[in-house]
């Protein structure tokens, strides 16, 4: 039995905030705004896992009005989703994702991001794909107003 899930997220970019994607700090003059650490990629992957299980999304489980999650490290949410996945008897088959960011180029960070997400998912990095695209100078991403991420995940039932 397989289940597929999709996650999508966007955060505004402003000066004076860190930019964290997939748990990795990105050197950038602009950072992402959010209640937590505003890690759009980790939020998208988390939502994809929760979506595959039809368990709502991050906001269902971690209210953004809750002071506990202010500037929280988003891997807390990802590990929670992995825990739910295991409890429901599923494991990761693979993850594919895309980050849309105009600057800087993410390619130098991609392997570290894949490794970090794979560790949180308790799988090999070869099962986690992270692709980086720019906004070609148009739209909110292209105008450096936002960072967006999308992720899709396939789960299968754990053999028992
Ligand atoms: Zn988010």
Query: Cα(39) to centroid of ligand 1, in Å?
Result: 6
Distance 10 CA to ligand 1 centre (A): 6
Distance 3 CA to ligand 1 centre (A): 23
The rounded Å distance from CA 12 to ligand 1 centre is: 10
Number of H helices, E strands in the chain: 5, 7
Q: With contact defined as beta carbons under 8 Å apart, do 49 and 6 qualify? A: no
CA distance 132 to 2: 27
Q: Tell me the pLDDT band of 92, cut-offs 50, 70 and 90.
A: very high
- Distance of CA 160 from the midpoint of ligand 1 (Å): 34
Ligand 1 centroid from CA 95, angstroms: 18
State the CATH class of domain 2-157. Answer: alpha beta
150 contacts 101 by C-beta, under 8 angstroms:
no
**Has this prediction a pTM greater than 0.85?**
yes
- The CA 156 to ligand 1 mean position distance, Å, reads 26
24-77 pLDDT, tens digit each: 999 999 999 998 999 999 999 999 999 999 999 999 999 888 888 888 899 999
Instruction: Tell me how far the alpha carbon of residue 51 lies from the centroid of ligand 1, in angstroms.
Output: 15
């Amino acid at each position: 039995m397989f289940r597929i899930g999709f996650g999508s997220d966007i955060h505004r970019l402003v000066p004076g905030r860190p930019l964290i994607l997939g748990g990795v700090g990105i050197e950038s003059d602009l950072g992402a705004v959010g209640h937590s650490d505003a890690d759009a990629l980790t939020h998208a992957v988390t939502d994809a896992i929760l979506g595959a299980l039809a368990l709502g999304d991050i906001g269902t489980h971690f209210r953004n009005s809750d002071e506990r999650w202010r500037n929280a490290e988003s891997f807390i949410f990802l590990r929670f989703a992995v825990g739910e996945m295991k409890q429901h008897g599923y494991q990761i088959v693979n993850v594919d994702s895309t980050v849309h960011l105009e600057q800087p180029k993410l390619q130098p960070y991609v392997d570290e991001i894949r490794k970090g997400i794979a560790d949180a998912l308790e799988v090999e990095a070869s099962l986690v794909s992270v692709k980086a695209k720019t906004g070609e100078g148009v739209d909110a991403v292209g105008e450096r107003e936002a960072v967006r991420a999308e992720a899709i995940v396939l789960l299968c039932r754990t053999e028992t």
